[in-house]
Amino acid sequence: MKPALRQQLQRLAMRLAELDAHLADPALSQDIQRYRGVAREQAEAAVLVQRLAGYEQREADLAAGRALLAEPGQDADMAEMAREEITAAEADLARLLAELQTALLPKDPDDSRNAFIEVRAGTGGDESALFAGDLVRMYLRFCERQGWRTEILSAHASDLGGYKELVLRVEGAGAHTGVYGQLKFESGGHRVQRVPTTESQGRIHTSACTVAVLPEPDETTEITLNPADLRIDTFRASGAGGQHVNKTDSAIRVTHLPTGLVAECQDDRSQHRNKAKALAVLQARLRDRERAEREAKEAAQRKSLVGTGDRSDRIRTYNFPQGRLTDHRINFTLYKLGAIMDGDLGDVVAALQAAQAQDQLAALEGAA
């Protein structure tokens, strides 16, 4: 273990003692919100300090084994026992160090939230809209594999198929869904290279879509919206037809006048429920905008930039003739595009999460 990392863990042990003292103070229980925060920090610190104690114990065992092996006149049985202890201790130390490093990585509090996925056609006309439809299908299949519930909040279909724009809400199961934590890397420009169905000469075309993934706010973090800042319009939902579609103005469009951000929902027959869903999307967009502005001021590079929709502005390329997917952020390539478009995104998500953890670890060691 590097000295800087050990010092950081030892400081954490001192912090744990402070947290224990705070929790023992009866006055803290009067502030439930603060009590929960301290209790959560104490529980996380306690796990790390316990792992550090285990690591230091195995260090002592390793030193004892090496000392025993180095003793002169050692018989064969004792020497073999010492070698076995050294091997076991070294393996345990490597495992415990990896666990400690992973546990120390900064956690995004939004990772456990549900999410909104926004897919928009970009450069490429009708082919871009068709590709947007393919991306939507890919995400729906991936969510289905995860056991997540999906709900299309608004959709603007293209004349030849696909979507000009679609907003999808994804909800996981239980208190800790991990939806946003797995989907957040999808934000950015997605480029496709293939022969469109409308291409008679068999030429490969390039088009692009943009994807934005936003964490769904909860009641404690949501932005307070001033009704005077909102313009709410009703309109008739578009769709495949049916008795309801053409008779009632149940779809809702909400415009945030200070920023110009717009959110709409036409999924539900209830105007009230559509309004609530549109406001939730608007809050997520405002929250994401605030976070982006804050990170820009801190000169942090935002990996989830949506981009402009131009062919050259991309995080990922889908090359259909070669059956290849390439994520340009981490130089990661897979030759199983058919399975990926059918929702098999697990390897891509895992690679992006691993790359992020590696970057965080490097930053952590540098800071320490």
Phi, psi of 44, deg, nearest 5: -65, -40
Query: Where in the chain does DSSP place strands (E)?
Result: 115-121, 149-157, 163-171, 188-194, 205-215, 230-235, 251-256, 261-265, 316-319, 324-327, 332-334
- Residues 27-82 have pLDDT tens digits of 888 888 788 888 888 888 888 899 889 999 999 999 998 998 888 877 888 888 88
Is 158 within a domain? yes
CA dist., res. 61 & res. 85, Å (int): 8
Domain that holds residue 252: 115-358
Residues 158, 246, single domain; the answer is yes
Residues 94, 162, single domain; the answer is no
Is 110 within a domain? no
Residues 58, 98, single domain; the answer is yes
- State the pLDDT at residue 304: 40
Overall domain count for the chain: 2
Under the banding of pLDDT at 50, 70 and 90, the label for residue 305 is very low
Instruction: Kindly report the pTM of this predicted structure.
Output: 0.65
H helical segments located in 205-336: 271-297
What does the mean pLDDT of the chain come to?
A: 82
CA dist., res. 184 & res. 275, Å (int): 25
- Percent of the chain's residues with pLDDT above 70: 86
Residues 35, 124, single domain; the answer is no
| 103 compared with 314, residue with greater pLDDT | 314
Residues 223, 318, single domain; the answer is yes
Residues 124, 252, single domain; the answer is yes
DSSP 140: H
- Residues 174-224 have pLDDT tens digits of 544 689 989 999 999 999 999 887 666 778 889 999 999 988 876 555 567
Under the banding of pLDDT at 50, 70 and 90, the label for residue 298 is very low
CA dist., res. 267 & res. 250, Å (int): 9
Under the banding of pLDDT at 50, 70 and 90, the label for residue 244 is very low
CA dist., res. 11 & res. 5, Å (int): 10
By CB neighbour count within 10 A (0-12 exposed, 13-18 middle, 19+ buried), where does 225 fall?
Answer: middle
Give just the sign of the alpha carbon dihedral 344, 119, 170, 162: negative
Residues 119, 100, single domain; the answer is no
Is 367 within a domain? no
Is 135 within a domain? yes
- State the pLDDT at residue 345: 95
pLDDT value at 138 more than 80: yes
pLDDT value at 134 more than 90: yes
